[in-house]
Amino acid sequence: MGNPHILVVPFPAQGHAIPLMELSQILIKHGIKITFVNTEFNHKRITNALGKEPEGQVRLVSIPDGIGAEGNRNHLGKFTEACWKFMPGELKQLIEKINQTDDDEITCVLADMTMGLGVEVAAELGIKRAALWPAATLLLALILNIPKLIDDGVIDENGTPLKHEMIRLSPDTLTMNPSNFMWATIEDFTTQKIILDCMQKNNIAIEKAEWLLCNSTYNLEAGAFALVPKALPIGPLSELDILGNLEVNFWAEDGSCLKWLNLQPPRSVIYVAFGSFTILNPTQFQELALGLELSNKPFLWVVRPDIIEGKDDAYPEGFHNRVADRGRMVGWAPQRVVLSHPSIACFISHCGWNSTMEGLSNGVPFLCWPYFGDQFLNESYICDIWKVGLKFEKDESEIIRGEEIKSKVEKLLSDENFKARALELKEKTIDNIKEGGSSEQNLKSFIEWVKS
Ligand code: UDP
């Protein structure tokens, strides 16, 4: 009998590849062989960003996503549909090929929980299967409750909210505005419906998973874990190996900002990053630049090459000269390391779940700028429940103005309670991955099962 060999199947997006790779890196250290499946399209992006073929211990392979060279991968609905149609066949072929050529057959599939199709393929082939949920566990509970939400008349069968009052799934979870439900924030109706249907299909598929792992912790989400008893926290994943080279970046990482951070005073720098999807319109981009300028503090700002809607550049005139001695812009930062740097004072964030966990695990207070999907839910955790951040207010034209940015930065940084709570939450959260912590114990049991 060969060694345990896991096929890891992320949803093809940056915020999904990262936590699955973080977990892969840990499993490798426990002597488990990993083959990590990207789409061909993303594999090219990763090698372009690295400037070479990845050469880490995790073996990267790729399969087509069924979209074709010219297809539109930004249409979330069509993209998800294509994944469900094409990937099961591709995955089966891949497993057969590996099993014929590799000394160690695939013994387990670890799928992103949004890729229940990977779980189904493993079940069909009679191999072990587990799934990792890369977002808040409360979102998982919400999605598993879609049939009940429809029965209760909270949403219709297309996912459109019918009730406009706040709801909660249990007395121990936060209240949610149905119009901020993840699928309802996707503007176009067809996409919303496709996504809702795929989620329901996925709910059935993941019933076949033997393990449901979550990048979260009991102290952060006790109420949500009570609603999904099978789900087990193993987070915060980013802290298990913060310096590990993940080799799944879609953009070239600019590590030079770490040297720049070394030169800044402790707790002085505003870190600004919106993850991998968010796009700002030129006016909003300009107001953000003005806000950073007005705040009169050092800042490190991730300006992804594709972040401005329809344009390459929307900086206010003379901006670069005026902030030259205290502002630093990069295309893609080593975010996990940046957030652990003592110079960081606060995090202006779109509140993606990975960013949320990474900020929390480093005791960094937040200024929240959610954009779509689950980001409103995460904002609510940060500001209303954990109280480690503040929300920005938009004006009547739906723009967050420079003055608002300046004033919230001042408010957050002048109130020591935010930092104190953030540090307390960091300690409690990190304790979970220490020897004997609940995440550590869950991960240990999972590894034993993989090896058994
Ligand atoms: N990230 C990074 N460098 C950047 C911006 C983001 O490494 O300059 C990483 C970040 O650490 C996180 C991921 O990209 O792990 C973004 O995931 P998140 O869930 O926050 O947002 P999404 O991109 O899915 O909207």
The pLDDT value given to residue 72: 81
User: 189 lies in a domain?
Assistant: yes
| Distance of alpha carbon 82 from the chain centroid | 22
Specify burial of residue 221 (Cβ count, 10 A radius: 0-12, 13-18, 19+).
buried
The response to whether residue 246 sits with its C-beta less than 6 Å from ligand 1 reads no
The response to whether residue 333 sits with its C-beta less than 6 Å from ligand 1 reads yes
Specify burial of residue 294 (Cβ count, 10 A radius: 0-12, 13-18, 19+).
middle
- As a whole number, mean pLDDT of residues 143-150 equals 97
The response to whether residue 439 sits with its C-beta less than 6 Å from ligand 1 reads no
The response to whether residue 301 sits with its C-beta less than 6 Å from ligand 1 reads no
- Whole-prediction pTM value? 0.97
Same domain, 172 and 223: yes
Q: Over 70: is that where the pLDDT of 1 sits?
A: no
Same domain, 215 and 292: no
The pLDDT value given to residue 6: 98
Specify burial of residue 92 (Cβ count, 10 A radius: 0-12, 13-18, 19+).
middle
Q: 73 C-alpha to center of ligand 1: Å?
A: 18
Q: What is the pLDDT of residues 197-227, one digit of tens each?
A: 999 999 999 999 999 999 999 999 999 999 9
Same domain, 421 and 446: no
Of 114, 261, 355, 358, the one to substitute when testing ligand 1's pocket (max ligand atoms within 8 A of C-beta) is 355
Q: List 211's β-bridge partners, or say none.
A: 130
Q: 152 C-alpha to center of ligand 1: Å?
A: 35
User: 286 lies in a domain?
Assistant: yes
The response to whether residue 18 sits with its C-beta less than 6 Å from ligand 1 reads yes
Same domain, 43 and 183: yes
The pLDDT value given to residue 187: 72
- 150 band by pLDDT with thresholds 50, 70 and 90: very high
The alpha-carbon radius of gyration of the chain (Å, integer) is: 22
Same domain, 203 and 130: yes
Side-by-side strand order, sheet with 231-233: 59-63, 33-39, 5-9, 108-112, 128-133, 211-214, 231-233
Q: How many domains does the chain have?
A: 2
- 71 band by pLDDT with thresholds 50, 70 and 90: confident
Q: What is the pLDDT of residues 94-131, one digit of tens each?
A: 999 999 999 999 999 999 999 999 999 999 999 999 99
Q: Closest residue (by CA) to atom 18 of ligand 1?
A: 352
Same domain, 402 and 444: no
Range of the domain at 77: 5-235+432-451
Q: Over 70: is that where the pLDDT of 310 sits?
A: yes
User: 164 lies in a domain?
Assistant: yes
Same domain, 443 and 412: no
The pLDDT value given to residue 76: 83
The response to whether residue 275 sits with its C-beta less than 6 Å from ligand 1 reads yes
Q: Over 70: is that where the pLDDT of 179 sits?
A: yes
Q: Closest residue (by CA) to atom 14 of ligand 1?
A: 275
The response to whether residue 355 sits with its C-beta less than 6 Å from ligand 1 reads yes
Q: Closest residue (by CA) to atom 15 of ligand 1?
A: 354
Whole-number average pLDDT of the chain: 95
Q: 23 C-alpha to center of ligand 1: Å?
A: 16
Q: 225 C-alpha to center of ligand 1: Å?
A: 24
The response to whether residue 15 sits with its C-beta less than 6 Å from ligand 1 reads yes
Same domain, 278 and 176: no
User: 109 lies in a domain?
Assistant: yes
Q: What is the pLDDT of residues 373-399, one digit of tens each?
A: 999 999 999 999 999 999 999 999 999
* % pLDDT > 90, the chain: 89
- 299 band by pLDDT with thresholds 50, 70 and 90: very high
The response to whether residue 302 sits with its C-beta less than 6 Å from ligand 1 reads yes
C-alpha distance across the termini of the chain, in Å: 12
Same domain, 338 and 439: no
Same domain, 278 and 369: yes
Q: Closest residue (by CA) to atom 17 of ligand 1?
A: 15
Same domain, 275 and 399: yes
Of 304, 354, 364, 377, the one to substitute when testing ligand 1's pocket (max ligand atoms within 8 A of C-beta) is 354
Mean pLDDT lowest for which of 234-248, 286-300, 312-326?
234-248
User: 241 lies in a domain?
Assistant: no
User: 246 lies in a domain?
Assistant: no
User: 248 lies in a domain?
Assistant: no
Q: What is the CATH number of the domain that holds 373?
A: 3.40.50.2000
The pLDDT value given to residue 311: 85
Q: Over 80: is that where the pLDDT of 69 sits?
A: no
Same domain, 230 and 166: yes
The response to whether residue 362 sits with its C-beta less than 6 Å from ligand 1 reads no
User: 304 lies in a domain?
Assistant: yes
The pLDDT value given to residue 274: 98
- 188 band by pLDDT with thresholds 50, 70 and 90: confident
Q: Closest residue (by CA) to atom 13 of ligand 1?
A: 15
